[in-house]
Structure 1
C-alpha cells in the first residue's frame, strides 16, 4: 500500500455532536445521552458496550438510518440530520455502505445483482469492472449467478461486504457482522473488513460484543448507559475484555 501524503488536518468521515435518542418503548430511559464522537477517514473503529448501552443506536444515527432527538450528525462535513428524507436516502446510497448480521440480501436476486443494487437504487451507473474486482477479492468469483439461498452464511456475508464495497462508500457501517458466523468464517470476514481499510482506504465503523473481533480495529470506543465512557487505541483482545468488564460493572 502506498503511503498517502497528508496536507493539513484530516476531516472526520463521520462526526456526531451531542446526540441524544430516547425510544418510547424504553420507559423514557435514553438510548443515547449526549454522545459526541468522530470517526477518522481510512480507519477501522469498533464500538462496544453492554447490552442496552446504545451502541447499535449510535451506529444507526451515525449512518442516517435513524434520527437523533437532538444533536448533529455530519457525514463528510455535511449535516445529514438536517436533510429531508429523500435527500437523506440519496446521501446514504451514495456515501454509506452497510453490513448487517442478518446479511439483508435480496433472495430473488443473484450475487451479481445484489452487488450492483445500491448503485442502481442511487440512480448511478454501476462500475462493473470494480464490482468484478471486489467479488473476486471476497472470494466469490464463479458464484455471480448464484442466489443467496445457494450460499453458506459466510458466503452471504461476503456478498454483503462486496455489495458495500462496490458502491465505493466513504464509510462502511457493520452491525455485528460476525455474530451469525462460526469462528473461522468470522475471522475471514474480519480480514476482509481490515483489508477494505488498509488496501482501499475505506472507513469502517463496527458494532460488536466480541473482544477478539474488536481487536482487528485501530480504535475501540466503549459505551455504557448511553454515554461514551472510554476508548482504546490499537488494543489487544485481553485489554478490550478487561475494559468491557470495567464498563459493565
Structure 2
C-alpha cells in the first residue's frame, strides 16, 4: 500500500483578527502531493485567509499548519521566510512581476533571493512549456496579461517548490487566456507532479482541479472530487442561499 503524503496540512486552524473577526474556525484539511485543489466559498468565507495561513504568509491564532513536514507556527523570521522560499511558489491575480527586470530575471528572482544557485536549464524548459521561449529579454510591460501570468507561473515553478499557491490566478484574464493558464496548471500537475492550491470564485476554473474544497463562515462546508463546473455552481448556489 502506497501512502500519499500531504504536502500541506491544516489541523484545527483558527484565525481571529482584531475586533474578534473569526476568519477561520477550526479548519482541518490536507493537500496531497501531486494534486490540484481549488478552494471556493462565498465572499468572506475565509478562502484567502486559509491560503495565507497554509503558505505561511499569516500565522494562525490556534491549531497547526504543517508545511513540508514542519510546523510553521513554531517558526519565527527569518526561518519562516527561508521555509517559504524553499518550499512554496506563488501565483497572484496581479502577476507581481518586477517591471524593471527581464522575463529571465523575473523567473530566477526567488532563487536568487533565497541565495540558491538557479537551475537555468529547468528555467529555460519552463519558458518553453509556457510558450515564451525567445522572450527572455522582454520586460513585463512588453507582454500581454496572459503572457505575464505565464511568466509568473514559470517563476513559481522554477525552484521546484513543494506546493504552489494561486490567489485568483486567472481573475484578471479574459476567458480564453484564463483557460490557457488553467491548462498549463493542469499540465504541470499531471506531467511534473506539482501540487497546486488555488483560490477561485469561478466554477469553470475550479473544474480543472482534482478536488474542490468549500468554505462558509470560516468553516469547511464539504468538497467535490473530479468536479464539473455544473456541480461546483450548484454547490456555490446552495452556500449563498
Which bin holds the TM-score, normalised by the shorter protein?
over 0.9
User: 2:14 aligns to what?
Assistant: 20
User: 2:101 aligns to what?
Assistant: 109
Structure 1: which 5+ residue stretches go unaligned?
Answer: 1-6
Q: C-alpha displacement at 1:172, in angstroms? A: 0.4
1:194-213 map, 5 Å: 194-213=186-205
CA distance in 2, matches of 1:65, 1:245: 30
Q: Over residues 49-96 of structure 1, what are the superposed CA-to-partner deviations in whole Å (9 max), with x where a residue is unaligned?
A: 000000010000000011111110001221111111111101111110
CA distance in 1, matches of 2:75, 2:122: 30
Aligned partner of residue 33 in structure 1, secondary structure: strand
Q: Over residues 121-170 of structure 1, what are the superposed CA-to-partner deviations in whole Å (9 max), with x where a residue is unaligned?
A: 11100000000000110011111001111111111100000001111011
1:80-229 map, 5 Å: 80-229=72-221
Q: Over residues 176-204 of structure 1, what are the superposed CA-to-partner deviations in whole Å (9 max), with x where a residue is unaligned?
A: 00000000000000001001100000100
User: 2:54 aligns to what?
Assistant: 62
TM-score (norm 1): 0.95
Equivalent pairs, count: 241
Select which of 30, 33, 44 maps to 1:41. 33
Q: C-alpha displacement at 1:23, in angstroms? A: 1.9
CA distance in 2, matches of 1:108, 1:82: 36
CA distance in 2, matches of 1:92, 1:195: 24
Structure 2: which 5+ residue stretches go unaligned?
Answer: none
